[in-house]
Structure 1
Amino acid sequence: MPSSSAGLSVNDEKKYIGILFFLFAVQIMSWVPRFPEVKANLGLSNGEFGTYLSLGSVGAVIAMLSSGHFVHKLGAKPVLIISTLTMCLSISTIVHLQSTPIFIIANMINGGSIAAFNIALNAQAFHAQDRAGELILSRQHGYWTMGAVATAIFSGFMVEFVGIALHINVLSVVVFFIILSIIKKLEPEMIKPSPEDDSDFGFKDLFTSFRVDYLVSAALVCGIMVEFATADWSAIYSKETIGVRGSLATIPYILTFSAMIVGRLGQHRITPYVSLQQQIKYGSVIGGVGFIGFILASSALVDHSKTAAYICTLIGFSIGGFFSAILSPTFFTAANKRSSQPSAVVVGQMGVTNAILTLIVKTVIAWTAQLTGSIAIAMIIPGLMLISVAFMSRAAKDL
């Protein structure tokens, strides 16, 4: 995809993209540590809340089918600006709601906004990666994880002093204007509209041009479910199963994403000595076994020692986070390399497949927790999925 000829230095482009990844996470993850409050406001069970939360994937699928083509045809800037606005508005609306139907609609809009922003930003990151001539996507995703940790710490502090609505509304306004300012700085190297004449690209072409890389898609969804399960369930598990108070319930989430920062930012130091394929093959097994083992241990210990159970919870989620950290950026890079289509289209099509599979898996996890009465048992599912990535590590063979 073309960019402006005036240009920024590649280091400046990487810096601004990293800041956008950071702010992206700060915004979309700001309400995650406060899920117990959202769930209580809506008066939902674990199964109901998990299911309705997963319906955000419906909005994501719709956005992913089209956003890659919009970035290719219109450029990254309008997609980033519009998705930033709808993302901030939808999250600000959600935290006020007590109506389940309105929550479902707002969550779908939020899911679509997140997907569109994610596609445009990752396409811009691939542009910078091509300019830099090195794999930088893992580090850029590391900045996203730093934002997730920062907002989790802030949210954990706010939960004791400020209501969720005031917290999220003020944060959304601040983040919105900062993101706009960074987009302005990045504009000289922003992906521009494609010069190719594709004005006759129609609705049906969204489907006829759709391609699925089955190996990479399966590896991606299996590799990211520990991360998603941690975001969705760690605070609820810590509060309802282990019995810790509000601010301590966010610590497993914070430690998990801190471990992911270390994994993502440190990957380039390990790769010269251990290939990506080997890192994935052995790391996924260690991470999956550790995740399952320590979470089950925490559930077994809670009636004997809440402290020991809480420590096992922290270790289990952290191990899963560290050893799954590189999987998402690695498989997105693999998909882009294996495809001849524009990077924004590749990210969008990968996202569609991933969103559909994620919706199914998240729903299964939610109702496993509901029907068994045990979130720990439900966490076996993402743990086993992480282990299975070892059998799909060849997807990263040529990176």
Structure 2
Amino acid sequence: MESMLVQPLVSKRAARLSIGAFFFIAGLCFASWASRIPDIKQHLQLSDGGLGAVLFALPVGLMVSLPFSGWLVHHFGSRKMVLLAAVLYPLILVNIGLVQQTWQLVVALFAFGLMGNLFNIAVNTQAVSLEVLYGRSIMASFHGIWSLAGFTGASIGTLMINFHLTPFVHFCIVACAAFLMIALLYRNSLRQDINADDDRPLFAKPDATLLKLGLIAMCCMVCEGAMFDWSGVYFQKVVAVSKGLIPLGYTAFMCTMAGGRFAGDKLVTRLGTLRMLQISGLVIATGLAIAIAFPTLVTATLGFMLVGIGVSSVVPLVYGVAGKSTVFSPGVALAAVSTIGYLGFLAGPPMIGFISQAASLRVSFALIAVLGFTTTIISSKTKF
């Protein structure tokens, strides 16, 4: 069945600005929460182990919401769900700033994960529909905006801490900024999704293509999770840098990942989706191999920069292809791929810890490099 999409009542440029704003809101809210975790930990007097247990509520909420998010987006449309999530996500963030007991934080983080995933599925469905109207790849730039919002949120968080503002006041300021963007730009969001007809299945086993796309996303997100949670530890224990240089690997990774996303669309247009995914897997594996084989400050930093470049376009590309499924509606297809992908994001960091404990951190990173290269292998066996 052919994709159905009515031309929007607004210009493509206006719609792109609107959708980009929603990606920015999502990234800003998440980064704002992450920047105040130490303060909330101290306020609730949580141990490291206690914090780890509490933080698990967020991915649990995310995973629980995955199938329902796809159904909601399919049934009500991504436009309504983007508005709902864009309003509730900052409100839940504000509630996190109000917690006084551990159980309240658990409930708030569960809701934050649940609403964050609905936001993710809905806004990516909007992006896929706009990409069809453009007739070329634009998905990576939206994810680049999310990364840029992460930097912005972290910077604002540092500023708020220096001004000695509480998380509640900080989160209220972020929520007000989000509501202002919603009021100004929501009217330009797309009113209809591609493949929005009602005869497509809502709950069904992913077909072979979606399964492969999910596995590609999973391999990439294992690598992303490794960089988020273990890059600092790698620089501390393996590269053995001074304390002030420990965050350098993570910073290098984040910078090239964000930059790669803004450049990714032009590269996809020139190289094609298949070639881009194949190259991405090779770059991920090469970067990790360099960091493993030559664990010095310069080479490890260079290696982590390559990993950032490699992972930058994989998930946006996978989401773009999945959202154009001719079997499932965009929301359902994206939810299916996200479910598989996020398993890697959640399972990857603990797996690295277990392998590192049994062997060494370099051995665990070598396994991650193999998974990065698996992105290339699976891509070569997938039809796009």
- TM-score bin, normalised by smaller chain: 0.7 to 0.9
- SS of the equivalent of 2:351 reads helix
Q: Alpha-carbon deviations, 1:120-142, whole Å to 9, x = none?
A: 11111111111111121122222
Question: Structure 1 residues 149, 297: CA separation in 2 closer, same or farther (over 3 Å shift)?
Answer: farther
Secondary structure (helix, strand or coil) at the match of 1:43 reads coil
Change (3 A) 1:133 1:275: closer
Say if 2:55 and 2:106, in contact at 8 Å, map to a contact too.
yes
Q: What residue number does 2:215 align with? A: 218
Aligned to 2:345: 358
Work out whether residues 50 and 363 of structure 1, in 8 Å CA contact, stay in contact via their aligned partners in 2: no
Alignment of 1:1-399 (within 5 A): 7-33=9-35, 35=37, 37=39, 43-45=46-48, 49-50=51-52, 52-94=54-96, 99-162=101-164, 165=167, 168-187=170-189, 189-191=190-192, 207=203, 209-211=204-206, 213-234=210-231, 244=243, 252-271=249-268, 273-291=270-288, 293-294=290-291, 308=297, 314-365=301-352, 371=357, 379-380=365-366, 382-394=368-380, 397-398=383-384
- Residue 64 of structure 1, CA deviation: 1.8
* Change in CA separation of 1:72 and 1:155 when aligned onto 2, cut-off 3 Å: same
2-structure distance, mates of 1:65, 1:190: 22
1:127 aligned counterpart, secondary structure: helix
Worse-superposed segment, 120-129 or 371-380? 371-380
2 CA distance for matches of 1:282 and 1:5? 34
Instruction: Give 2:315's aligned amino acid.
Output: S
RMSD: 3.8
CA displacement, residues 125-169 of structure 1 (integer Å, 9 cap, x when unaligned)? 111111111121122222222222222343345555545615742
Aligned partner letter, 1:340: V
Displacement of 1:323 after TM fit? 1.1
Deviation at 1:336? 2.9
Q: Which runs of 5+ in 1 are unaligned?
A: 302-307
Q: Any idea what the Cα deviations from partners look like across 1:206-228, whole Å, max 9, x if unmatched?
A: 54x34252211111111123333
Distance across 1 between alignment mates of 2:372 and 2:165: 36
Q: Which amino acid aligns with 1:69?
A: W
Q: Which moved more, 1:50-59 or 1:73-82?
A: 50-59
> What is the number of residues matched between the two proteins?
377
- Partners of 1:14 and 1:128 within 8 A in 2: yes
Contact 2:222 2:347 in 1 (8 A): no
SS in 1 for 2:130: helix
Aligned with 1:217: secondary structure?
Answer: helix
CA shift, 1:327, in A, is 0.2
Tell me if the contact between 1:125 and 1:137 (Cα under 8 Å) persists in the aligned partners: yes
Give the TM-score taking structure 1 as reference length.
Answer: 0.78
Distance in 2 between residues matched to 1:236 and 1:175, nearest whole Å: 35
Letter in 1 for 2:374: S
Which structure 2 residue ranges, 5 or more long, are not aligned? Answer: none
